[in-house]
């Protein structure tokens, strides 16, 4: 540990273990996986522990949850603590590798309540996932005030060219409802220089 700088520590909310089903639970469909992630986003809002975003990494062979993630930006004092990155970092730590696509790992899918922002999009090719599942669209997050950054117009095709399948609009109505719930509750819209 550096003598003059703190360690970087991100902690998942205490409630997470209580709301997650048993580890042996199998999520057979994209809709089941998205249902879990949407519930995590709702819990994050209702319990006041973060923004309206959640994500999770799943083993596509078994359908089991490998790592959950919720948005920790405000509570973690960290602009990069987006749900997708939290889930990917946790999955990588549990796998003991920065590359979830390595030959010793099962094929991984990232499921996220809202399409990735520019930052999270940039991290996906290096994470080693082979599938991305999204609920709400980029424009849904922008509509409530979030700055999603600059992304290529056809970012799904860009990911697909890199071997990452993209599935959009999975449980989209429920995912949009979570964003609206956050806005209706007066949750902070945290962007680089402005807050709600």
Catalytic residue (choose from 32, 84, 115, 139): 84
Nearest to 183 by CA among 45, 31, 82: 45
70, β-bridge pairs:
54
Looking at the chain, which runs of residues are DSSP E strands?
A: 54-59, 65-70, 108-114, 131-136, 165-167
- Alpha-carbon dihedral sign for residues 167, 33, 99, 92: positive
Measured distance CA(153)–CA(150) in Å, rounded: 9
Nearest to 189 by CA among 12, 15, 50, 33: 50
Q: Count the Cβ atoms, other than its own, within 10 Å of residue 93.
A: 11
**How buried is 74 (Cβ within 10 angstroms: 0-12 exposed, 13-18 middle, 19+ buried)?**
middle
* Contact between 70 and 83 (Cβ < 8 Å): yes
Active site residue 84: yes
Which of the residues are catalytic? 84
């Amino acid at each position: 540990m550096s003598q003059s700088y703190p360690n970087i520590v991100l902690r998942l909310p205490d409630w997470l273990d209580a709301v997650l089903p048993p580890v042996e639970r199998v999520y057979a469909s994209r809709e089941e996986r998205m249902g879990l992630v949407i519930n995590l986003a709702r819990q994050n809002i209702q319990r006041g522990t973060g923004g309206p975003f959640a994500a999770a990494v799943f083993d596509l062979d078994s359908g089991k949850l490998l790592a959950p993630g919720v948005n920790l930006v405000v509570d973690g004092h960290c602009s990069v603590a987006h749900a997708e990155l939290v889930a990917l970092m946790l999955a990588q730590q549990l796998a003991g590798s920065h590359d979830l696509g390595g030959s010793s790992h099962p094929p991984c899918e990232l499921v996220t309540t809202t399409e990735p922002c520019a930052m999270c999009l940039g991290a996906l090719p290096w994470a080693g996932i082979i599938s991305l599942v999204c609920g709400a669209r980029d424009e849904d997050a922008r509509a409530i005030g979030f700055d999603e950054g600059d992304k290529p117009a056809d970012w799904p095709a860009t990911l697909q060219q890199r071997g990452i399948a993209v599935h959009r609009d999975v449980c989209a109505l429920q995912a949009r409802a979570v964003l609206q719930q956050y806005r209706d509750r007066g949750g902070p819209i945290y962007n680089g220089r402005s807050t709600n």
